[in-house]
Amino acid sequence: MKLTTKQLTLCALLTAMALALSYLENLFPLSLAIPIPGVKLGLANIVTVFALYALGAGEALLILLARCLLGALFAGNMNALIFSLLGGLSALGTMALLSQGRGLSVYGVSVGGAAAHNCGQIAAAVWTLGSGAPLYYLPVLLAVSLLTGGLTGLASACLFRGLGHTGLMNRGKADGHG
Amino acid sequence: MMRRLLLCVLPALLLLSGCAAPVDPDEARESIQVIAMDTAMLITTYGERSPAAAYACEDVIRDLEKQLSRTDPDSAVSRLNAAGTLELGELDEELIPILSAAEAYRRETDGAFDITIAPVVAAWGFAGGEEYRVPGEAELQELLERVDGSAVRVEDRTVTLGPGQAIDLGGIAKGYAAGKLTQIFNEYEVPRALAELGGNVLAWGDRPDGTPWRVGVQDPAHPDDRNALVGVLELVDSFAVTSGSYQRYFQQDGKTYHHIIDPATGRPADSGLTSVTVVAGSGAGGAMCDAYSTALFVMGEEKALDFWRSQQGGALFSLVLVTEDGRVVVADKTGQFNFVPEEGSGYTYETVS
Amino acid sequence: MKPFPRLRPTAWDGLVVLCVAALALGIAFFQWRGGTQEGLTAVVSVDGREVDRFPLEELIAAPRAYEHNGYTLEVCAALRGEVSSLDHVKSDGEMGLRVARSDCPTQDCVHTGTITRSGQSIVCLPARVIIRLEGGAADPGNVDAVTG
């Protein structure tokens, strides 16, 4: 994959934003609104959605990997890497597939991604614990992902509307050689 | 992140716990936990009358403890030890069968099991409540002179000890209690039950799935790891009792001193064994298994196997010996149970007949 | 070239939502049918009386403490395996519980370490507390009791 300087800059910027969003949502835990500890908004998913449309699946993957690695490094907890990677990769894979469907809006893509993210995290929990116990949480997490996916979808839609005039949405290529 | 995710599991279980499958009426069972006789006891009974049976078990154990406790100053044993003689009251009736059983086992084992070892055990600090210490040779010799189970006299309802003697029923009381439980299980028509009385296991009937109870034998090399076993006994209607040097010990000046005192030397038995497990049918008596496991540990491998071969009636009990040099010796003529070696335990397994 | 994404919800989005909801309900129903065999239950008794009974997973959220005879035991969730300074758990795949702290004189309960299987227990004689694991998947390879 060859990246133009502009694309590279955009990737770096988006990685930084994803990290910042992950940090931000820790400051305002959703668990205060929904009395289930551990429920997350998944704000970093907005970045993945955006990267997917604006740059493409390959670039979105790069950003995701960088975000997960750096996030784990900052937290000093490499154990968390398995969780964020499995969750993030499932989400990205699902959203890349869903975004091919012409009839789907960012809302459907976001919801699918949020659900896949939770499935991936549960899979990581089952794997590291060697116990099927976390599976019992999957239905609840899936239900919550409808809500969080809808919210990140809304945020993404607003983002696309706001950035529509910049030309970023044309995969950075329209004026990439100018 | 992992922690946070794990946090998620809590509400899920709360939400879903209301959906648990209903209890099968055939699986009616009661589990009770009792702390008595210096150990934790766990009794699980099955069947329609399982709750009543379980609580009857607790009553029997509490009643026995009241009579046999070493630490309770009002127990029959404490009063006997303090006064040297005791006229048994109505509530002390268990003492007579226990004392006569103890005397029988002492004679059979040539003194390797002896309840009058109590003063020596106390000198080492194994009687509880006191600091562990290594007694001097002169002190041990002086105390050893008092050790002689044959001097304990039971006449009518009066028990008399020899001069300076004291008794400790710790090596037989739990097994005796396990034996009493079989009476309750019969009385309450308990089809199956499992009782663990601090290392004394009574496997009554079989498991609910119709297979034998699986009773692990602790690996003496890893006493702190509950998953470390030398093997598994598959038992139906049987007692299994283990005595091991790992169960209680202290270290001083780089040497390890364990709690199984050889009545011949007054010192921790140095027999080359690390644990002895005695298995017998539930009709044989838990007290016998309990006393034999201690006595055979004192005897060591060769004498223990000789004793096992000489048992009358062909096959009363079976043995699983674990040696210091990493062998597990299984001696069984009964064919009533199966011993499954633990893979990867590092022991070599031998069967003798 | 990627098309500009649709920004208004469509009927197809509804289909995705339905699929996720159906998946959630399906799994919940499957678990309900299968019963909650997977989870271990911790049973705590103090002086012979059962004082607490809870799914093992609840310990992950918060440790629990039991007080009796003047001693306090703190029980927490634990994985079998070594824990390095970086909070990196090398697990061999079994979750269980252990007594993390106790002010009892013998410390036997602390030294018992982590119990992970149905039927295992931690005992504190000075405090007269027994913590036992029950339930869980019926594994014919599990032992029912341990002698010794």
The CATH number that applies at residue A104 is 1.10.1760.20
- Does some domain include residue A175? no
Q: Residue A141 domain-assigned?
A: yes
* pLDDT for the residue numbered B108: 93
pLDDT at A43: 87
**For B45-56, what is the mean pLDDT?**
90
CATH class of the domain comprising B71-160: mainly alpha
Asked, for residue C88, whether it belongs to a domain, the answer is yes
**What is the model's pLDDT at position A30?**
63
pLDDT band, very low/low/confident/very high, at A130 (cuts 50, 70, 90): low
Average pLDDT over residues B162-175: 93
Please give, rounded to a whole number of angstroms, the shortest distance from the CA of C13 to a CA of chain A. 4
What tens digit of pLDDT does each residue of A2-35 get? 788 888 999 999 999 999 998 887 777 665 565 4
Residue range of the domain that includes C72: 40-135
- The chain A residue lying nearest B8, using CA atoms, is A38
Residues B340-351 have pLDDT tens digits of 999 888 999 999
Residue A83 in tokens: 């969780």
pLDDT at A175: 40
Contact (CB<8Å) A134/B6: yes
- Percent of chain A with pLDDT strictly greater than 70: 79
Residue of A nearest to B2 (CA): A80
With an 8 Å Cβ cutoff, is A166 touching chain C? no
pLDDT class of A129 with cuts at 50, 70, 90: low
Between CA A176 and CA B139 the distance in angstroms is 97
Residue-level pLDDT at A139: 83
Cα(A109)–Cα(C17) distance, integer angstroms:
10
pLDDT at B100: 93
For C84-96, how does the pLDDT look when each residue is reduced to its tens digit (9 = 90+)? 333 344 444 567 8
Three-state DSSP string of chain B:
CHHHHHHHHHHHHHHHHCCCCCCCHHHCEEEEEEEECCEEEEEEEECCCHHHHHHHHHHHHHHHHHHHCCCCCCCHHHHHHHHCEEECCHHHCCHHHHHHHHHHHHHHCCCCCCHHHHHHHHHCCCCCCCCCCCCCHHHHHHHHCCCCHHHCEEECCEEECCCCCCCCCCCCHHHHHHHHHHHHHHHCCCCCEEEEECCEEEEECCCCCCCCEEEEEECCCCCCCCCCEEEEEEECCEEEEEEECCCCEEEECCEEEECCECCCCCCECCCCEEEEEEEEECCCCHHHHHHHHHHHHHHCHHHHHHHHHCCCCCCCEEEEEEECCCEEEEECCCCCCEEEECCCCCCEEEEEC
A160 touches chain C (CB under 8 A): yes
Q: Which structure tokens are listed for B113?
A: 């099991």
Q: How confident is the model at residue B214 (pLDDT cuts 50, 70, 90)?
A: very high
- Report the CATH number that the domain containing residue C61 is assigned in CATH: 2.60.320.10
Contact B316, B309 (CB under 8 A): no
The predicted pLDDT at position B17 comes to 34
In chain A, the number of structural domains is: 1
The pLDDT of residue A134 is 63
**Predicted local distance difference test score (pLDDT) of residue A82:** 82
Please compute the mean of the pLDDT values over residues B289-293 and round it to a whole number.
96
Q: Among A135-144, C20-29, C39-48, name the one with the lowest average pLDDT.
A: A135-144
Burial A32-70 (b: 16+ CB within 10 A, else e): eeeebbbbbbbbbbbbbbbbbbbbbbebbbbbbebbbee
Residue B284: C-alpha distances to residues B177, B203, B241, B275 (Å): 13, 13, 13, 21
Query: φ and ψ at B67, to 5 degrees?
Result: -85, -35
Integer angstrom CA distances of residue C78 from C42, C63, C100: 13, 10, 9
Q: Residue B233: is its pLDDT beyond 90?
A: yes
The radius of gyration of chain A from alpha carbons, rounded to an integer in Å, stands at 16
Average pLDDT of B276-284?
A: 92
Determine the Cα–Cα distance for residues B136 and B134; give it in Å rounded to an integer: 7
What is the predicted pLDDT for the residue at A170? 58
Those residues whose C-beta lies under 8 Å from the C-beta of residue B166, and which sit 6 or more positions away, are B81, B116, B118, B119, B122
Higher-confidence position of C29 and C103: C103
The domain in which residue A37 lies consists of: 5-169
Q: Does a structural domain hold residue C101? A: yes
Tokens of B298: 């004192």
For domain B27-65+180-352, the CATH superfamily is ApbE-like domains (3.10.520.10)
Interface of C with B in 40-99 (CB under 8 A): 43, 45, 47-48, 50, 55, 57-58, 60-61, 77
* Of A39-48, A101-110, B159-168, B198-207, minimum mean pLDDT range: A39-48
- What pLDDT band is residue B182 in, cutting at 50, 70 and 90? very high
Domain parsing of chain B, residue ranges: 27-65+180-352, 71-160
**How high does pLDDT run on average in chain B?**
87
Local confidence band at B280 (pLDDT 50, 70, 90 cut-offs)? very high
In a domain, C52, yes or no: yes
pLDDT at A74 over 90: no
- Give me the number of domains chain C comprises: 1
Query: Within a domain: residue C130?
Result: yes
Which residue of chain A has the CA closest to C27?
A: A139
Residues of A in Cβ contact (< 8 Å) with C94? 130-131
Is pLDDT at B225 greater than 50 in this prediction? yes
Contact across the interface for C148 and B220, Cβ inside 8 Å? yes
Q: How confident is the model at residue B8 (pLDDT cuts 50, 70, 90)?
A: very low
The per-residue pLDDT for range B308-325, each reduced to its tens digit, is 998 866 558 999 999 999
What are the φ/ψ torsions at residue C55 (nearest 5 degrees)?
Answer: -65, 140
- Report percent pLDDT > 70 for chain B: 91
Is residue A176 in some structural domain? no
Residue B319's pLDDT is 95
- The tens digit of pLDDT for each residue in B101-139 reads 999 999 999 999 999 999 999 999 998 777 899 999 999
Pairing mode, strands B348-352 and B327-331: parallel
